Amino acid sequence: MRVLGLMSGTSADGIDVALVRVTGRGRNLRTRLERFCTFPYPAAVRSAVLRVANANRQPIVSVAEISQLHFLLGELYAEAVQRACRRFRVPLKRIDLIGCHGQTVYHQPRPELFAGRRIASTLQLGEAQVLAQRTGIPVVANFRPRDLAAGGQGAPLVPFVDYLLYRHPRRGRVALNIGGIANVTVIPAGARPEQVIAFDTGPGNMLIDAVVEAVTRGRQKFDRHGRLAASGRPNKGAVKSMLNHWFFRRPPPKSCGREQFGASFASWFLMGRRDRKAVDRIRTVTEYTIGSIVYAFKRFILPHSRIDEVIVSGGGARNDFLMRRLQEELPGLRFLPAGKLGVDEKAKEAFAFAVLAYQTWHGEPGNLPSATGARRAVALGTIVPGRR
Amino acid sequence: MRVLGLMSGTSADGIDVALVRVTGRGRNLRTRLERFCTFPYPAAVRSAVLRVANANRQPIVSVAEISQLHFLLGELYAEAVQRACRRFRVPLKRIDLIGCHGQTVYHQPRPELFAGRRIASTLQLGEAQVLAQRTGIPVVANFRPRDLAAGGQGAPLVPFVDYLLYRHPRRGRVALNIGGIANVTVIPAGARPEQVIAFDTGPGNMLIDAVVEAVTRGRQKFDRHGRLAASGRPNKGAVKSMLNHWFFRRPPPKSCGREQFGASFASWFLMGRRDRKAVDRIRTVTEYTIGSIVYAFKRFILPHSRIDEVIVSGGGARNDFLMRRLQEELPGLRFLPAGKLGVDEKAKEAFAFAVLAYQTWHGEPGNLPSATGARRAVALGTIVPGRR
């Protein structure tokens, strides 16, 4: 089957489109990313999305706005499919299925009191029936609610696809993604889906970037290839004491974000260290990030599974200093960039929702209960018929 | 197949559940309503629904509220299914499919400008994935967006089911529903789906009820069996002049509502006629209602199709005076109450969404383009898998 995956991230930049070839079922499932492209949202759409997404708690939107944005995004997804097919030189009628994540405007897996009940919920916009009607192609959409209904967090869903991409009969592998936050999917050799675990290890590039931007007064946004960190000296005492953060000791599954390692953590870190050189501070925060990843491996991964390879994706994979130090700290593991084995990082989520759509289309589950916390594996989302 | 249909009307009273047996396909489709019941919303839920539905234009809700209401209604639909099955003494696992209309909180088929585009949209709440997960039964939900995407009004959808119930190889039939507004589905003898037309004829009980309530100062809410009208004398000149209303002359398909024949029309009518007796005014407005229905038959139905029977449903079917006068004015037609041939009026919509779910499940269309204005017949809604 040729499947298109559509993804719009929370940054509301636009629509990612991945063309994926998928064959087989279950253990024989095979996937290949054939093409990828991105279409930015028009400015008016981006501001409408951000307006609605920022209306989380404040009563500042009308139901008309939400309903209209839902249908407008359906139209934009349809146009993205048509434009992508022209660019890929694949006729629409050669596409068998679309997987459309939609635009998340609310996600609260922790139950909250509403009309006398405790309710967890998630809301993705983009009317899949508009997309199916315009393209004539069946659509699987709205992947997160089913996992939530099964008691999960509705996220992360990508580890299932890591499992499909990286599982190996004799090699234990960890998919390590170093984005703003760093997360791992642990896939022991010959693992069944329920043996896979996934969790956030702590900060990824988030703290390093914040410190670089602050100490260079905005001239640099990140530490290219880790050169600044490499030229500084770490404050080992500070690294050690910051590694006492409660988050690291919590057993997985667990997730973190800006609440824990965002701007306020960075300010606190910088405040206490005015005396030291700029590059020393960058080195210290880089060592802290490395330390948190290494801790996760030593405490939660290596004692339980034999791991041979670590497949690294995300911006952190391009920080040579960080990669070299990880390899030094974990000498028994082989660190590989993701492009070698799998899917380019920027195409990963769109790719993932193409694969998850294929699973649902065949009545197969798409969540990993060990990653989301769901009580069971379930087929995710909802199916809109194409046109006969 | 045993199919449950779930309906929540715009009055936000609660959840109607119909148990329907459906067999066959296409021209051989057979349906039977087996059971019906209603579960009122808890007060807190009703007020949350009305709050959101009333936030149409005003920016007074948060996205959190809408998302939480969406999931809460999913839970309530699941509980309604479980309670209905206990009451009907049918085990859950004997139900093959659920059709869930959801709770409409926005419906605007006329395109409006949004973020630089003209967008028509409709929004029904009640997360079907929660319903499918709790019950284990596959669900078809969210019926209106596909018709809208195909250029229709997303409504009315019941005429398709009228067609299934009442089509006859040799008898021309009209399904006349006299609710607040009166509407007809015209089914010529041996008609194919595309030959069916459906439209609103004008006021049903809406004006009569408003006038009765006003002239009795609220002591009576409606004219039981039409006794008040029968004892009054009509102002024929007023009836004739009011029948010049632009709506009646507009060719079908067309729809009307409170905007045309609601409180302000009733006030205007009452204002000009203070001199006459109360029962005369009730008779006049009843004759006006009759006149508008008769006009629709003589102008838009009888010149085009041979009609033998009129199957009457809705509160108006219990207004004996109105029924007798319709029979007098249209002597060539046989007027029959709906219960004789079809489905009890109060179960009609829940029944309809069970049947439409069955159609979608089999990849069959569920809209009548001649009724909704859609460019083509399409399978409606979205399918959520059950639990394996």
Q: Report residue A345's pLDDT band, with 50, 70 and 90 as the boundaries.
A: confident
Q: From chain A, pick out residues whose CB is under 8 angstroms from the CB of B146.
A: 129, 132-133, 384
Task: Tell me the per-residue pLDDT of A256-283, one tens digit each, with 9 for 90 and over.
Answer: 887 788 888 998 998 876 667 999 999 9
Average pLDDT over residues A187-202: 93
Q: Chain-wide mean pLDDT for chain B?
A: 93
pLDDT given for residue B307 in this prediction: 97
B121 inside 8 A of chain A by CB:
yes
Q: Report residue B78's pLDDT band, with 50, 70 and 90 as the boundaries.
A: very high
pLDDT given for residue B28 in this prediction: 87
pLDDT given for residue A67 in this prediction: 96
Q: Among 3.30.56.10, 3.40.50.12780, 3.10.20.10, 3.30.420.40, what is the CATH number of B2-155+347-384?
A: 3.30.420.40
B217 inside 8 A of chain A by CB:
no
CB B341 within 8 A of CB B350: no
Give first-to-last CA distance, chain A, whole Å. 18
Written as one letter, the residue type at A66 is I
Q: Report residue A26's pLDDT band, with 50, 70 and 90 as the boundaries.
A: confident
Contact A123 B63 (CB under 8 A): yes
pLDDT given for residue B273 in this prediction: 66
Coil, helix or strand at residue A52? helix
Model ipTM? 0.87
pLDDT given for residue A312 in this prediction: 92
Helix axes A128-135, A63-88, angle to 10 degrees: 40
pLDDT given for residue A271 in this prediction: 86
Average pLDDT over residues A112-119: 95
Q: Report residue A8's pLDDT band, with 50, 70 and 90 as the boundaries.
A: very high
Average pLDDT over residues B154-174: 93
pLDDT given for residue A275 in this prediction: 62
CB B71 within 8 A of CB A117: no
The alpha-carbon gap from B75 to the nearest alpha carbon of chain A, in Å, equals 9
pLDDT of residue B73 exceeding 70, the answer is yes
Q: Report residue B388's pLDDT band, with 50, 70 and 90 as the boundaries.
A: low
User: Which helix (H) or strand (E) segment is B68 a member of?
Assistant: helix B63-88
Please state whether the peptide bond connecting residue B385 to the residue before it is cis, i.e. omega within 30 degrees of 0: no
A60 inside 8 A of chain B by CB:
yes
Contact B383 A383 (CB under 8 A): yes
More confident residue, B29 or A341: B29
**Option in A55, A64, A121 nearest B108 (CB):** A64
Query: In a mutagenesis test of the A interface, which of B133, B140, B360, B372 is the best target, namely the one with the most A β-carbons within 10 Å?
Result: B133
Contact B128 A382 (CB under 8 A): yes
Written as one letter, the residue type at A288 is Y
Average pLDDT over residues B84-110: 95
Nearest CA to A322 among A192, A203, A153, A217? A203
Query: Which residues 244-283 on chain A approach chain B with CB closer than 8 angstroms?
Result: none
List residues bridging with A99 in a β-sheet: A5, A140
Give the residue on B whose Cα is nearest the Cα of A45.
B115
Q: Report residue B293's pLDDT band, with 50, 70 and 90 as the boundaries.
A: very high
User: What beta strand segments (E) does chain B contain?
Assistant: 2-8, 14-23, 30-40, 97-114, 117-125, 139-141, 173-178, 181-187, 197-203, 309-313, 334-337, 382-384
More confident residue, A12 or B216: B216
Task: Tell me the per-residue pLDDT of A297-340, one tens digit each, with 9 for 90 and over.
Answer: 999 999 999 999 999 988 898 899 999 999 999 999 999 988 76
**Option in B112, B123, B360 nearest A63 (CB):** B123
Distance CA A95, CA A80 (A): 14
Q: From chain B, pick out residues whose CB is under 8 angstroms from the CB of A65.
A: 59, 114
Query: Which residues 357-376 on chain B approach chain A with CB closer than 8 angstroms?
Result: 360, 363
Q: Please give the CATH architecture assigned to the domain spanning A162-341.
A: 2-Layer Sandwich (3.30)
Contact B117 A63 (CB under 8 A): no
Task: Tell me the per-residue pLDDT of A216-259, one tens digit each, with 9 for 90 and over.
Answer: 998 998 999 999 999 999 999 999 999 999 999 999 888 888 77
Q: From chain B, pick out residues whose CB is under 8 angstroms from the CB of A114.
A: 48, 65, 68-69, 72
pLDDT given for residue A274 in this prediction: 64
Contact B59 A61 (CB under 8 A): yes
Q: Please give the CATH architecture assigned to the domain spanning A2-159+346-384.
A: 2-Layer Sandwich (3.30)
What residue ranges do the domains of chain A occupy? 2-159+346-384, 162-341
The alpha-carbon gap from B40 to the nearest alpha carbon of chain A, in Å, equals 15
CB A163 within 8 A of CB A31: no
Q: From chain B, pick out residues whose CB is under 8 angstroms from the CB of A45.
A: 115
Contact B127 A145 (CB under 8 A): yes
Nearest CA to B45 among B71, B69, B24? B69
Q: From chain B, pick out residues whose CB is under 8 angstroms from the CB of A74.
A: 149
* Planar angle of CA B232, B235, B240, nearest 5 degrees: 135
Q: Report residue B275's pLDDT band, with 50, 70 and 90 as the boundaries.
A: low
Q: Report residue B387's pLDDT band, with 50, 70 and 90 as the boundaries.
A: confident
Q: Do domains A2-159+346-384 and A162-341 have the same CATH topology?
A: yes
More confident residue, B252 or A90: A90
Task: Express as a percent the part of chain A with pLDDT over 90.
Answer: 78
Give the residue on B whose Cα is nearest the Cα of A139.
B382
Contact A52 B44 (CB under 8 A): no
Contact A145 B122 (CB under 8 A): no
CB B144 within 8 A of CB B107: yes
Average pLDDT over residues A59-74: 93
pLDDT of residue A388 exceeding 70, the answer is no
Contact A114 B69 (CB under 8 A): yes
Q: Among 3.20.20.140, 3.30.1640.10, 3.30.420.40, 3.30.830.10, what is the CATH number of B160-340?
A: 3.30.420.40
Q: Report residue B96's pLDDT band, with 50, 70 and 90 as the boundaries.
A: very high
pLDDT of residue B319 exceeding 80, the answer is yes
List the structure tokens of A159: 């580890």
B74 inside 8 A of chain A by CB:
yes
